Amino acid sequence: MRLQRTLMLLVLSGTCLIAVYGGNVKKAILVVSFGTSYEDNLKLTIEATEKRIAAAFPDYEVRRAFTSSIVIKVLKKKGILVNEVDEGLAELAAQGFTECIVQPLHLITGEEYHQVVKTVAKYRTSFSRLAIGMPLFAETAGYFRTLDAICANNPTVGSGEAIVFMGHGTHHPANSSYALIQMILEAKGFPVYVGTVEGYPDLDWVMDRLDRDGIKMVTLLPLMLVAGDHANNDMAGDEADSWKSILTEKGFAVRTILRGLGEVPAVQDIYVSRVREVLASIDSADDAD
């Protein structure tokens, strides 16, 4: 009896949808990132990735949300309006979207990713189809694919030279992702070391490795979606405590490249396939019903 009633409700809501939208379901992809107040880099990384996703899914309206309320505030002062995740989802629901795919542009399944998962869960009943995609470094194959994509775009380095990535790092248990990243880089023989600005491994760990392996010249790159505050200041800044300054002081020849991962088309393509994966998984869930 209960089941029958549920079925009846489904049929009724289905009829409603057809009546309101003439059979066209409004579908959206909400692309979520931490955000950045570096407007030029925003265009090169986040916006470029959003456009790549929009081009791959022409039936979907692609919208933007940021997780950083500070970044949202800074941009608002410049007249650029961006929703928080909560607002973005509420807006889509209010505008009659019935399907929403949330794709985070985060790198690891850390604090922010889980926060987005929690927010999305609040809207379970607001959409008939609602799902969230994976970040880059999630399952093992995702690590391999992402590191291949990134390292294919690294500058070539000769002997005695190496790339040093500045990752973000976190107090969240997902900080262990950086160990797997380093392990795979070594297994593939890429001359790349990863340190983090807010977690472990740190720059001291990286410098120990550089010494051990006889590296004299280092190219610094951010292992972050955007070349924003951390990349410009903590990595490549002229202050005495930037990685560039510390490495130079220790006698390394240092060059810096301010390229966020979101600029790399092969990385943008991984986000596109993350969306494709979620769509495939909800399609198969629908089939199983």
- Of 81, 171, 170, 88, nearest to 122 by C-alpha is 88
**Chain centre to alpha carbon of residue 217:** 29
**Residue 171 DSSP symbol:** S
Distance of alpha carbon 222 from alpha carbon 166, whole angstroms: 5
- Distance CA(215)–CA(157), nearest Å, equals 11
- Rounded CA-CA distance 30/97 in Å is 11
* Nearby residues of 219 by Cβ (< 8 Å), 6 or more positions away: 154, 155, 157, 161, 162, 163, 164, 254, 255, 256, 257
Q: Which residues are within 8 A (CB) of 18 and not within 5 positions of it... i.e. 6 or more apart? A: none
230 is catalytic: no
Residue 126 and residue 191 in contact, taking contact as beta carbons nearer than 8 Å: no
Where do runs of H (alpha helix) occur along the chain? Answer: 2-21, 39-42, 48-56, 69-77, 85-94, 111-121, 140-151, 177-187, 203-212, 229, 243-249, 265-288
Query: For residue 61, is it left (φ>0), alpha (ψ between -120 and 50) or beta?
Result: beta
Angle CA 32–38–40, to nearest 5: 95
d(CA 183, CA 112): 24
CA 184 to chain CA centroid, Å, is 19
Question: For 126, phi and psi rounded to 5 degrees?
Answer: -85, -15
Which one of the listed residues 114, 168, 171, 230 is annotated catalytic?
Answer: 168
- Active-site residue set: 168
